[in-house]
Amino acid sequence: MKRAKIYNPNKSAMQSGLGKTNKWILEFETKNPTKNPLMGWESSSDTYTELKLEFSSKELAINYAKKKKINFEIIEPKKRKIVKKSYADNFLS
């Protein structure tokens, strides 16, 4: 059986905004990864590993996986902890 994970991607480390984090990704797990003897890269004969499906909501991704009989694992995003700071806090300590 195919095994996949459904997750919400992290924001880019290069930007402070949260763009492109409102989608859900269904990504298949690698089976039997091997090391390429010539270049040393990890490779696999499983072509499902190259496939990433994007969905606008978690429910759509789950429904797709159930419809196609794909075993899946949901990885929930961690909640951001926002600490409000004031410029004056730099001088009050």
Over the stretch 63-74, which tens digit does the pLDDT of each residue have? 999 999 999 999
Averaged pLDDT of the chain: 86
Could you tell me if 33 and 46 are in contact, meaning their C-beta atoms sit under 8 angstroms apart? no
Specify the amino acid at residue 36. N
Write out pLDDT tens, residues 25-70: 999 987 777 888 888 888 777 788 888 999 999 999 999 999 999 9
All domains of the chain in start order, with CATH: 3-11+20-92 (3.30.160)
For residue 29, CA distances in Å to 2, 41, 76, 77, 85 come to: 8, 17, 17, 19, 41
